[in-house]
Amino acid sequence: MFEIFLPNEHVKSIFDISPQHLKERGIKGIITDLDNTLVEWDRPNATPKLISWFDDMKKHNILITIVSNNNQTRVKAFADPLQIPFIYQAKKPMAGAFKKALSQMGIKKEEAVVIGDQLMTDVLGGNRSGFHTILVVPVAQTDGFMTKFNRFAERRILNWFRKRGMLQWED
């Protein structure tokens, strides 16, 4: 019933995803959410630790594209200083932005992962589009206005998975 929301993997943080692990799976590119996946939704810039993570991915020739439902001003201000391609107002879970990210990176679907903190946008969109999905625990305990609605439904789905032993999760 809820399996379309079940990620292929779940980790505590983006920092638990190593380039070695991705390369072992044949992954050449990451499609990642921004807010509460990479940094808190209200943090304007990348942290030094995140910059180091991006650099490590680049050293291993793993491409990154940020795909966010947020507006151009927010996503551009974050991504431009890092020279990371991005897609804003992505309309996740719709498939268009995921396909566009693949095209920009010049890789196949099987060579990419979708990483995000939300079941209702990142995991659902990635799964519906046939990607390997990785769910991360949200960086912040607070959310922007629109995300609060998704979190309500998400908690119920996570509890359903938890009760069936399909997913271990931290609140």
How far is CA 151 from each of CA 12, 138, 146, 160, rounded to the nearest angstrom?
A: 17, 11, 9, 14
What is the CATH classification number for the domain harbouring 145?
Answer: 3.40.50.1000
Q: Higher-confidence residue: 152 or 94?
A: 94
Does residue 35 have a pLDDT over 70? yes
Mean pLDDT of 63-88: 97
Q: Please indicate, yes or no, if residue 53 is contained in any of the structural domains.
A: yes
SS3 state at 37:
coil
Range of the domain at 14: 3-163
Residue 7 within a domain: yes
- Residue 168 within any structural domain of the chain: no
Q: Give the C-alpha separation, 153 to 38, whole Å.
A: 22
Position with higher pLDDT, 101 vs 150: 101
Number of domains, the chain? 1
pLDDT of residue 143: 63
In a domain, 169, yes or no: no
For residue 154, tell me if it sits in a domain: yes
* pLDDT higher than 90, residue 3: no
- Res 81 pLDDT > 80: yes
> Could you read off the pLDDT of 113-168 as tens digits, one per residue?
999 999 999 999 999 999 999 999 999 776 666 666 777 788 888 888 888 888 77
